[in-house]
Amino acid sequence: MPVINAPHAFNEGNLFVDLESIFGYPLYLKCEGFNFAGSIKLKAANEMVESAERDGILTRDSILVESSSGNLGVALSMIAASKGYRFLCVTDSRCNLSTRLLMEALGSQVHVVAGLDANGGFLGTRIDYVRSLCASDDRYVWLSQYTNAGNWRAHFRTTGPEIADHFPQLDVLFVGAGTTGTLMGCARYFRQWHRPVRIVAVDSVGSVAFGGKPGRRMIPGLGMSMRPPLLDESFVDEVIRVEEADTIRACHRMARRGFLFGGSTGTVVSGATDWLARHDAHDITAVAIAPDLGERYLDTIYQTNWLQDLYGDQILDPAHMTTTAPRPAEPGTPPPERREEP
């Protein structure tokens, strides 16, 4: 058992859940929520902070500021508390109450913006507020998870190799797309690997990250109201978009088997199992990444009144909660191939 003196020194990166008994298709879920920040964002936060320290950007007088829908804000709050920095998180009304309270418990300030941006989201509004703070006082240091190469480098160094070590015959990897840091880091890692891996990005309906039509998105985590600056689509083989109703159903199906995961995980799992069903893929090695756990979503996607108010009384109708049925592959989509070790 490790002995640590800083919370960011511990992260369990080698836990996978076999979801085949729940969804009927072989899918291994990499669980990234077992650290003191509770999410995969700890990796990016630590990489960006340490890089800023090495470059002399962060000093004792600095005030860290970042735009976040929740998880990165918690990770930076934890690191700031450990290292003695002040931190201000700029978020919006979709951020879970428990997440905001957690950041404040760690000593951070939280500012919630209310105005929508041109694409009907809050991201542009949050970034405008951060920029105004930085212009007003040079003590503010914005790490900018949206443009910071440390965001994807963290996953190139850790997440990709962790998956490769456990699954040397990996065929397809499903990664949720937000800032695309996880997606780009893993995609870059497997591009140079010893065998080809199909990289499937999973986005939310209503996100414009890959050019989709903007729309309402109530579940924080995945999706963007602008094109992610870190995104290089040449590393992505396919994009799947998931309706929030399907996100919620995937979360509840896992919860009914004892696995409580967050909204981003529900989106990735829903997209992955739909892909596997459409390709009737029973003989490939498939991995999906679960960014966080579900406790911070108890007052939203696991709360009956919230669900019914936003998605209607039938959102968890038993008819929609059965195992995904196979559907024909979309025109022009090549079937998956089972590849053996060279």
Residue 328's pLDDT is what?
Answer: 37
Structure tokens at 144: 């900018």
Strand partners, 113: 92
Distance of CA 35 to the CA centre of its chain: 15
> Measuring CA to CA, which residue among 224, 307, 222 is closest to residue 270?
222
Check: CB of residue 280 under 8 Å from CB of residue 21. no
Integer Cα distance of 157 and 139 in angstroms? 30
Residue 116's pLDDT is what?
Answer: 81
Residue 122's pLDDT is what?
Answer: 86
Check: CB of residue 241 under 8 Å from CB of residue 215. no
Rg (Cα) of the chain, in Å, rounded? 19
How does strand 140-142 pair with strand 238-242? unpaired
pTM score, two decimals? Answer: 0.91
Residue 96's pLDDT is what?
Answer: 87
The DSSP H or E segment spanning 64 is: strand 63-67
Residue 322's pLDDT is what?
Answer: 61
Check: CB of residue 76 under 8 Å from CB of residue 64. yes
C-beta atoms surrounding 196 within 10 Å: 13
* DSSP 8-state code for residue 249: H
Q: pLDDT digit of tens for each residue in the chain (342 aa)? A: 689 999 999 999 999 999 999 999 999 999 999 999 999 999 999 999 999 999 999 999 999 999 998 899 999 999 999 999 999 999 988 888 899 999 999 999 999 998 887 767 788 899 999 999 999 999 999 999 999 999 999 999 999 999 999 999 999 999 999 999 999 999 999 999 999 999 999 999 999 999 978 888 888 888 888 999 999 999 999 999 999 999 999 999 999 999 999 999 999 999 999 999 999 998 999 999 999 999 999 999 999 999 999 999 889 987 667 644 433 334 344 544 544 333
Residue 330's pLDDT is what?
Answer: 42
Q: Which residues contact 324 (CB under 8 A, 6 or more apart)?
A: 23, 24, 25, 273, 274, 276, 277
